[in-house]
Chain A
């Protein structure tokens, strides 16, 4: 399975951490595609909430939009993605807490930042 494909795991676990597999805690990896739902997209306030949440994880967070990837902990870069409503974003995390980070961040995006 290509890790860059959209992945939907109801239990939030990446296959590399599935039962019976060896888990390398320093090289965790997870990714998932999600659609921006809140009406005005990733504007100042949603961006700051995203960054605040992303910064709680040790993993490196990448946010990708049609091939362009930016640091998920960098508010200015995130805003420059111009992710308006309906934009598909891939959230990718690399690091010890990668699956948790992807879960939390996609959940935040799916919640529409409580705007809907």
Chain B
């Protein structure tokens, strides 16, 4: 048995045999042809292009329908490149002049382009070499006529293990028996990760050498939630995960029945369960899971999906489709929260030494006002169509909030001048995710319509722990007494000021914390759509009076260990299958 740790890019657990895709998927012989074979090779080339274009068209249409135009747009470029007569002519010239076989000629020409991409100065442009590789593989698959058919013909569920897969290879997995994906390369923001996540296939990337360690037909457990791959698991591990799988299955079936029932406690207190979404199409999934609105719409994907900044119209279209999906339910749009990552780091002249404490999120926006206003105008335009609220992230002081509001007012004036309708009194809120904001909460509450506690960052900043750093990640826990006291104080202040307060970190989706949160008076939770049924079940299994007693007791503990044990026990008592 071997356990490998990577980056969990798409959650879920799968157990199955492995299929390993060779790193050099297509070995193309340096094959030449005789004079009389040239017409046949040219014909093969023409058919290869035609078939590739048809494939891309289908892929683009399915992607657009299932996952939205955003993701489908990745394939527009592939289509554009393959429609060029020049590319085809260059390949054909190698066939006729040098007698290369079609596949060999195509590879030579496309590798030439890849080298030119790799020689560019601009690193974002350079990364597009991945797309040219993708185009090459597709074309070669057609030309050598074996077409990844091996995956299409699988009869049993498998876990696909590969060195690196392109976005379109993953997009094609939808019709196969592949139930999970493990990759040596890749990270959270790669196109491949975005596509696999949106298809709901569990995946772990960044495993470095998994494709070398696994042989075909090895049994594998893939845990996309924890970012783990277990190769050739022992019986104990296998039994544990199988049981887990079955328990989850039975439990989930039961939860579906809860969908249309309200999240109300046994003593009649109504909680509001909202969803956190990243992609517009998730709004629809959320409604299916019984959401009461979008508590956190992360807008970063708009910026990450391609190199260029999104236009106002692109923002607007995304927001519009979310509003259309949820109808009159509220939609809280969080303004750009990038930073400490690829996007902003690549824009800055020199990488920051400490990006988590650097130019990120609202700070980045306030230094890039034009970019900020494009988004604000789009949000305002969308506010004419539904219950839209605007939320500023990472506020660490009153000045930032006031500055952001001034920029918002500018954006409103722009729209007024153009005669574009929007909601004048659009609710304005902030994320409470820095200790500074938590401590200065009373002053902040006077100037906002609502707050949402972002526990992921709040925990990280309060405990001074980077949870992405494996060496200290075990210190990261929302159970820390300092965090819990902070939460109690924030909620208490918001209740006194009569300002709407919700919590939108991962903590909101963990059944273990429901009793505590309800107990300190928090009745609005925003979580991943998939977590809603479980949290609803927890809420329906208890009473606020009981939760208040649990919360009071929780706050008496000195260590996170005690807190976690206590909350686990209490949760198990009300609903044993939850943990």
Question: Do A and B share a complex?
Answer: yes
Closest chain A residue to B116 by CB distance? A80
A71: interface (CB < 8 Å): yes
A41 to B81 CA separation, bound complex (whole angstroms):
19
Which chain A positions have C-beta within 8 A of B81?
75-76
Which chain B positions have C-beta within 8 A of A41?
122, 125
Interface of B: prevailing SS: helix
A74 to B307 CA separation, bound complex (whole angstroms):
19
Do A76 and B132 touch across chains, with their CB atoms under 8 A apart? Answer: yes
Contact A84 B122, CB 8 Å, known A44-B306, A74-B86, A77-B86: yes
A39: interface (CB < 8 Å): yes
How many residues of B sit at the interface, in one of the four size bands?
A: 20 to 34
A38 to B311 CA separation, bound complex (whole angstroms):
11
B106 → chain A, closest Cβ, in Å? 14
Closest chain A residue to B110 by CB distance? A76
Which chain A positions have C-beta within 8 A of B128?
43-44, 79
B150: interface (CB < 8 Å): no
Closest chain B residue to A73 by CB distance? B84
B37: interface (CB < 8 Å): no
How many residues of A sit at the interface, in one of the four size bands?
A: 20 to 34
Do B306 and A113 touch across chains, with their CB atoms under 8 A apart? Answer: no
Instruction: Mark each residue of chain B from 367 to 379: 1 if its CB lies under 8 Å from any CB of chain A, else 0.
Output: 0001000100000
Which chain A positions have C-beta within 8 A of B131?
44
A15 to B128 CA separation, bound complex (whole angstroms):
40
Which chain B positions have C-beta within 8 A of A38?
308-309
Closest chain A residue to B313 by CB distance? A114
Do B307 and A43 touch across chains, with their CB atoms under 8 A apart? Answer: yes
Closest chain A residue to B310 by CB distance? A115
Most B CB within 10 A of own CB, among A44, A51, A80, A115: A44
Do B77 and A47 touch across chains, with their CB atoms under 8 A apart? Answer: yes
- Residues 297-344 (chain B) with a chain A CB within 8 angstroms: 306-309, 311-313
Most A CB within 10 A of own CB, among B81, B113, B307, B308: B308
Do A40 and B309 touch across chains, with their CB atoms under 8 A apart? Answer: yes
A53 → chain B, closest Cβ, in Å? 12
Contact A76 B87, CB 8 Å, known A44-B77, A114-B313: yes
- Residues 35-78 (chain A) with a chain B CB within 8 angstroms: 38-41, 43-48, 51, 71, 73-77
Instruction: Mark each residue of chain B from 116 to 146: 1 if its CB lies under 8 Å from any CB of chain A, else 0.
Output: 1100111011001001100000000000000
- Residues 17-46 (chain A) with a chain B CB within 8 angstroms: 38-41, 43-46
A73 to B86 CA separation, bound complex (whole angstroms):
10
Do A43 and B370 touch across chains, with their CB atoms under 8 A apart? Answer: no
A109 to B117 CA separation, bound complex (whole angstroms):
22
Which chain A positions have C-beta within 8 A of B307?
40, 43-45
Which chain B positions have C-beta within 8 A of A80?
113, 116-117, 120
A26 to B81 CA separation, bound complex (whole angstroms):
28
A40 to B346 CA separation, bound complex (whole angstroms):
11
Most A CB within 10 A of own CB, among B116, B117, B122, B313: B122
Contact A45 B122, CB 8 Å, known A40-B307, A80-B117, A116-B370: no
Interface residues in chain A, defined as those with a beta carbon under 8 Å from any beta carbon in chain B? 38-41, 43-48, 51, 71, 73-77, 79-80, 82, 84, 113-116
Add 4 more A-B contacts to A44-B128, A82-B122 (CB < 8 A): A74-B86, A75-B77, A75-B81, A75-B84
A-B contact pairs, 26 of them (CB 8 A): A39-B309, A40-B124, A41-B125, A44-B77, A44-B306, A45-B306, A45-B308, A48-B76, A48-B80, A71-B86, A73-B84, A74-B86, A75-B77, A75-B80, A76-B80, A76-B81, A76-B84, A77-B86, A79-B125, A79-B128, A80-B117, A82-B121, A82-B125, A113-B311, A114-B311, A116-B370
The 8 closest A-B pairs by CB, nearest first: A43-B307, A114-B311, A75-B80, A45-B308, A115-B309, A76-B81, A45-B306, A74-B84
